[in-house]
Amino acid sequence: MPHSTGLIYSDAYQSYRFSPDHPFNPIRLLWTYELIQELRLLSPAELVAPKPANDEDLLRVHAASYIAEVRRLSQGGQVNESSLLYGLGTEDDPGFPGMHDAAALAAGGSLAGARALADGHLLHAFNLGGGLHHAFAAQAAGFCIYNDIALAILALRDRGLRVAYIDIDVHHGDGVQEIFYRDPQVLTVSFHENGRYLFPGTGGVQELGAGSGLGATLNVPLEPFTDDASWLEMFEAVVPAALATFRPDVLVTLHGCDGHVLDPLADMRLSTRFYWRTAARLHELAHTFAAGRWLALGGGGYELLRVVPRAWTLVWAEMRGTPLPEDAEVPADFNRRHQPPGAEPLPRLVVDPQDFVPPLDRQSEIAGRNRATLARLRQISPLL
């Protein structure tokens, strides 16, 4: 039997870089890969090299005119009015040389994982370079050019599999939701900071799907400064119940770690302990409801060194069946090599200590508001 778990990664993922000072920096993927290796959490049989998605693949989700515009800008074309209508050439999504190839490679990585699961070659797969959940059929948004998640879900749907997509990135998974909003065979569940305060401004509890897909969309908008305990409470209240009703054949999960308290682009107060615990829970749920089939994707995360490598290493360790203990240490050589001059020391532990995030005086009020949101969702969702 082939190895049951695959890490999808290539150094070529470093080509997905908008500019030197853009917050979406692929160096975080390389550092995650290094940390995984230095903790001896990867065998040669587990490494899967991605191949670019081809035009036939991309056209399953994206408009031909949009793909053509991505290609034009990739080849040095100037930004014009048409580019801006496609969301390209903006501050978030500026064009860069080789953009099409870089985005197609990320998409191809998620496709490879989905196809390996559907064919039975892998049971679990994690694409570090995937998770571009803001891309729409004909529009770039939020650092996302091609929607690798939608391509992967369609590949699974082609095999007749019901897919549950669970997104714990701090930003609403708007692109994936839009693409599958009318599909009753795809459940989309997004936990995110309330759109009143954070990009993209969507993801209210009233967004439940449409047509035959009505009810197959769930959104849990959380209050700013939500901590591990409250977010985990909402996760446990929603995900197991939704999966029990929906009965998926496969889980696709997005592990954006931009809800961490150190992340510069959001307002949450999570620790790597949260990502450690949610990975373990999703692993359990995959085996309970989906015969173990589980495709995980990276997503957001903008504290490139202190957070992303630790959070995603915890996901991978759990996925491969060798979860790290609570007292696991970051290898001293890793920290010594990457320690920024003059900065405070890099974290010594992979899992943040219990007291890493000091409690706020308003924490019980924030948790209460999240429970009120959950109560509203339960009133209107047929899945809960």
Catalogue the active-site residues: 134
- The answer to whether residues 271 and 228 touch, using CB atoms and an 8 Å cutoff, is yes
Q: What's the DSSP call for residue 346?
A: P
d(C-alpha 213, C-alpha 187), whole Å? 9
Task: Report how far residue 340's alpha carbon sits from residue 213's, in angstroms, rounded to the nearest whole number.
Answer: 49
One-letter identity of residue 198? L
- Cβ neighbour number for residue 236 with a 10 Å cutoff: 12
Q: Is the dihedral of CA 241, 245, 248, 252 positive or negative?
A: negative
If DSSP states are collapsed to H, E and C, what string results for 226-239?
CEHHHHHHHHHHHH
For residues 65 and 223, what is the distance between their CA atoms, to the nearest angstrom?
Answer: 38
Closest listed residue to residue 263, CA positions, set 255, 271, 274: 271
